[in-house]
Structure 1
Amino acid sequence: MTEKQKEILQRTSDRIKSLTKLSGELLDLSKIESGLINQEREELDLIALIKGQAEFYRDKADAKSILLTVKETKKEIHMMGNRINIEEVVSNLISNAIRYSPSGGQITVWADEKSDCTKIVVSDTGFGIEKKELEHIFKRFFRVKNETTRYINGTGLGLAIVKSIVEAHHGTIEVESEVGKGTCFSIYFPKSEYKI
């Protein structure tokens, strides 16, 4: 096999993987919007869940010399939720933070709770998002594209899935960002929804 043939096969393989991911994410989104994810909930320890996701992405962060840390707040924080989907929320936000952070950046993840809500935060020192684009980032297929980010691959569905999962759990998601300084996603789940 020639080098050119190898290159064509590699590009074809990458494209197939991308299309497979896209179809999987569209399927996830349709399941969420149809209400299927609300059927199975369990008591979740958010601290353990976040630590598990951070460990899963440790190698990717290390490969870019990004410091990925879980900030200690409490030993345990519990909520009722769909495990697979809450893991997907945290996973998506951490993987985005890695992709949209330059080498040498920092990502901090933590959970906390107040009397009325449980909170998950993913904060990075990445490229940041312009104010005019912030209102669009949760829309399907929307991707921030500029000179810094145009080479970053993605389907543009990740944050739409995150928002749908959060809302299906009666939560809200907020984002603060500054170009060149970073982005912080904060998710709030009302405790009134979860009698444990």
Structure 2
Amino acid sequence: NYIEDIENKLKKINDKNQAIVLTGTFMYKSNKSHVKLKDIVNDIKTITDNPIYTNNYAYVFNGVIGGFVDIGEHQGSYVAKEICNILEGNKIEEGILPKSSGMYIFDYKQIYDYNIDILKMPKDSKLLNKPKYALLLPKPLKITVCIVFSLLILIVVYVVYKFIIEIKKSNKNKKLYERAKEREQLKTDFIVNMSHELRTPLNVILSTSKVAELKINTNNYDNKYLLGKLEQINKNSNRLLKLVNNLIDITKFEQGVYEINLENINIVEVVEDIVLASVDYATYKNIDLVFDTEEEEIITAIDKDKIERAILNLLSNAIKFTHKGGSIYVYIKREKDKVFISVEDNGMGIPKDKINEIFNRFYQVSDTLKKHEEGSGIGLCIVEEIVDLHGGKINVYSEVNKGSKFEIILPIYMVEENFKNLQIKDIQQIVKLEMSDVDTKEN
């Protein structure tokens, strides 16, 4: 048979219900050479879409669907046995024609390419080119199974996703609850502490005034004694005033109405004056208070009163929590367009897990510190707010029993309309007010 003749016949077939069965080999008319089996199959597929079957074992591996094919090895084995029977003189009942020695062999890929119902394949059929985990199902059913399986996967993924979301939500709610409990406890502690802060100076003021009144009524006093009692009253009045100022400022911060009035000023001089005015409070505890600067003048826009208050708060904390015989080092330097102000001590220090909490409102590091030193727990919060309003930030470096370092970083810039603070203030009175809770003289 010539391949050209077969191709011409195939071109005349218009019935899609017909199938093609390849059985033998073909030659080219031009040179009488044999056509490769794979080329035969490919040429036929370019002419027609009709399914191609075979009963030739060799074609199964060259792109046809397959079919019932004879296995030459099986036929040869059967014929050899029959010949042996003849030579041995055994009776041959069915002659030497071999029994059917074929089997159904199909190409898995071609079956699905031609959309053949795989469930109608004969039993014990052998499949070639079947992927290891491929499904033996009709294409429509296979698609359905894939869709169902995909939906199941999506459902599982959705359930897992919702489960994870719920877990995260639960954890978040738990954290919020714990945070709320912690905040509530802080407020409770603050109220208790604030009651103590209010009661202590009030009791001192009342008792001192009564004693002074008794002495005056009995004329059993001198000017020095009376001045001492008045000093106690003034000191504790300052403690109450500082506490009230802090509460008012915290309220202003929360409402967003706290204002700063900027003026271009030498910040080195401001800090130096505050430190010098605080030396007596450090000296009373035998603490060495040192001021140092890299430059004598750094002009920048600040609210002088607010910066003084922030530095005083850091100094008062350093004095309160530094043991007798310790030291406090205040240092200023400039780096490009920033000024760095650090207050460093070798006192009690702060635990690492508490450093991020100390700027929270009403937070105090430990009950132990509360017992030994006075404080409402809102001073550092005010310091951070003041620094933030100046466009700066504050860093803390601390180690328990080795000391702490608070570093304020402020931007250096000028304001166009230079606000002038015309109010004359006694810096000693300002320091006395802010240091009222660290003055260790007798009440």
> TM-score normalized by structure 2?
0.39
User: 2:351 & 2:408 partners in 1: Cα distance?
Assistant: 20
Partner residue of 1:131 out of 352, 376, 383: 352
Q: Aligned in 2, Cα 1:115/1:174: closer, same or farther, shift over 3 Å?
A: same
CA shift, 1:169, in A, is 0.6
* Larger strand proportion of the pair: 1
Partner residue of 2:391 out of 170, 181, 184: 170
User: 2:404 & 2:382 partners in 1: Cα distance?
Assistant: 18
Match of 1:10 in 2: 204
Q: Aligned in 2, Cα 1:43/1:16: closer, same or farther, shift over 3 Å?
A: closer
| Structure exhibiting the larger radius of gyration computed from Cα positions | 2
User: 2:297 & 2:241 partners in 1: Cα distance?
Assistant: 36
Match of 2:334 in 1: 113
CA shift, 1:28, in A, is 2.0
User: 2:271 & 2:239 partners in 1: Cα distance?
Assistant: 26
CA shift, 1:145, in A, is 1.8
- CA offsets 1:133-152 (integer angstroms, 9 cap, x no match): 11110011111225456310
Question: 1:49 is matched by which residue type in structure 2?
Answer: V
User: 1:55 & 1:63 partners in 2: Cα distance?
Assistant: 14
Question: 2:336 is matched by which residue type in structure 1?
Answer: S
Q: For the Cα contact (< 8 Å) 2:289–2:328, is it kept in 1? A: yes
Partner residue of 1:73 out of 286, 294, 302: 294
Cα RMSD (Å): 2.2
- CA offsets 1:44-82 (integer angstroms, 9 cap, x no match): 212111111111211110000000010131111121011
Match of 1:3 in 2: none
Task: Kindly report which structure 2 residues correspond to 1:142-181, keeping only aligned pairs within 5 A, or say none.
Answer: 142-147=363-368, 150-181=371-402
Match of 2:246 in 1: 25
Q: For the Cα contact (< 8 Å) 2:249–2:258, is it kept in 1? A: no
SS class of match (2:357)? coil
Question: 1:10 is matched by which residue type in structure 2?
Answer: V
Q: For the Cα contact (< 8 Å) 1:139–1:160, is it kept in 2? A: yes
Match of 1:37 in 2: 259
Q: For the Cα contact (< 8 Å) 2:293–2:333, is it kept in 1? A: no
Q: Aligned in 2, Cα 1:47/1:18: closer, same or farther, shift over 3 Å?
A: closer
Match of 1:195 in 2: 414
Question: 2:282 is matched by which residue type in structure 1?
Answer: A
User: 1:124 & 1:79 partners in 2: Cα distance?
Assistant: 26
* Larger helix proportion of the pair: 2
Question: 1:37 is matched by which residue type in structure 2?
Answer: E
Q: For the Cα contact (< 8 Å) 1:32–1:168, is it kept in 2? A: no
Q: For the Cα contact (< 8 Å) 1:77–1:111, is it kept in 2? A: no
Q: For the Cα contact (< 8 Å) 1:50–1:110, is it kept in 2? A: no
- CA offsets 1:12-68 (integer angstroms, 9 cap, x no match): 679876554322101123334524423x21112121111111112111100000000
Out of 108-117 and 28-37, give the one that drifted further. 28-37
Q: Aligned in 2, Cα 1:73/1:132: closer, same or farther, shift over 3 Å?
A: same
> TM-score normalized by structure 1?
0.86
- CA offsets 1:88-144 (integer angstroms, 9 cap, x no match): 111110111000100011101121111131111111111000011111100111112
Out of 175-184 and 136-145, give the one that drifted further. 136-145
SS class of match (1:58)? helix
CA shift, 1:165, in A, is 0.2
SS class of match (2:371)? coil
Q: Aligned in 2, Cα 1:77/1:152: closer, same or farther, shift over 3 Å?
A: same
SS class of match (2:359)? coil
Q: For the Cα contact (< 8 Å) 1:175–1:186, is it kept in 2? A: yes
Match of 2:281 in 1: 60
SS class of match (2:384)? helix
Partner residue of 1:51 out of 272, 295, 304: 272
Q: Aligned in 2, Cα 1:148/1:163: closer, same or farther, shift over 3 Å?
A: closer
Greater RCO between the two (CA within 8 Å, min separation 6)? 1
Q: Which runs of 5+ in 1 are unaligned?
A: 1-7
